[in-house]
Amino acid sequence: MKKAGIRFDLEKVDRRIKLFSRRSTKAPSDFLENELRRLTNWYMVFSRLRGDEIDAHFLSGLVESLEIEYRCYFERNKFVRKLEPSSFWKFTYAGCNGQIEGFLEEQGLDVALQKLYRWPKTIEKKELSDRLRRYFIGIGYLYPLDEETLAVHQNFLFGQLGTQTTFRTADSSFLTRDLIRCPYHEAQYDREEKLSDPELWNYWKDLLALSIGRLPQYVYYSPKHLRGEEDPTKLVKNRLRIGRRFAPSRYLELEPKIDIFEWYSPRLLESSPSLRRRR
């Protein structure tokens, strides 16, 4: 079971993953097996992970994180009973970006969080400012149900853990510092051609894929790219394709389900030497 571009004994790694996935009493083995495979594969592609590093210590750490994630997405009521929001709100909501922090404060973040910290499953759109609502949809925290109602997505709950989230970046729970600016710009300005709430959720899906696909810094993905009005660069298309393959469906859909993940060996663009794996 050797894939081009991945120089590991995948049969051996797979056996180890299956073994570890059966040890947990906090999450089902089929969830853990597929998610351990996904994360191990992702580290193979985007880090300098060596075969001998996929050991008990490495897998145990992933299992511990995935058990927390399982409770959040599949056992929401149990999860929220013990949930204490991170005090580092600038990381949780703003990607450690001063402009976004000021924008959120102006839009009544404190009042909104008083409502959201009750952990409701839904919230009426009228309870939030228009711009704050649009921004929270764009970062994957609120899901548009209909014209009047939003679902509080489990991403909002998982984001409260701050640096414990599985695909975290240096600056936020899900999106990189550059990519979190995209929904901010879309929410901040009133444009005739602004994205609808459902389009904003699709924008979030692509931004997450680009974040997981480790799109290099200073690359902007615009609403025109989403709508097909402008053609993204070859690099963006490449990272979008890779990120979509790795992104868990529970981050993207309202109802979580256990994914089946198979080994994947994408080719990274040569124009991003910092993300090449050591051969």
pLDDT of residue 277: 39
For the ranges 94-103, 124-133, 178-187, 262-271, the lowest mean pLDDT is seen at 262-271
For the ranges 47-56, 162-171, 212-221, 228-237, the lowest mean pLDDT is seen at 162-171
The type of residue at 11 is E
- For range 196-216, the mean pLDDT: 96
- For range 135-156, the mean pLDDT: 97
Q: Is the pLDDT of residue 32 over 90?
A: yes
CA–CA separation, 187 and 203 (whole Å): 12
pLDDT of residue 6: 52
- For range 38-57, the mean pLDDT: 87
pLDDT of residue 105: 96
Q: What tokens does 246 get?
A: 């790795």
pLDDT of residue 276: 42
CA–CA separation, 24 and 21 (whole Å): 6
DSSP state of 51: G
pLDDT of residue 7: 55
pLDDT of residue 269: 63
- For range 213-231, the mean pLDDT: 93
Which of 171-175, 215-219, 249-253: highest mean pLDDT?
249-253
Sheet with 142-144, edge to edge strand ranges: 122-124, 149-152, 142-144
Q: Indicate if the alpha-carbon torsion angle 67, 69, 71, 73 is positive or negative.
A: negative
Q: Is the pLDDT of residue 190 over 90?
A: no
Kindly report the pTM of this predicted structure.
Answer: 0.91
- For range 154-181, the mean pLDDT: 88
- For range 45-65, the mean pLDDT: 87
Q: What tokens does 30 get?
A: 């089929």
- For range 67-94, the mean pLDDT: 94
CA–CA separation, 140 and 201 (whole Å): 7
Q: What own/partner pairs with CB < 8 Å and gap ≥ 24 does 123-131 have?
A: 123/149, 123/150, 123/152, 124/148, 124/149, 124/150, 125/149, 125/150, 131/103, 131/107, 131/187, 131/188
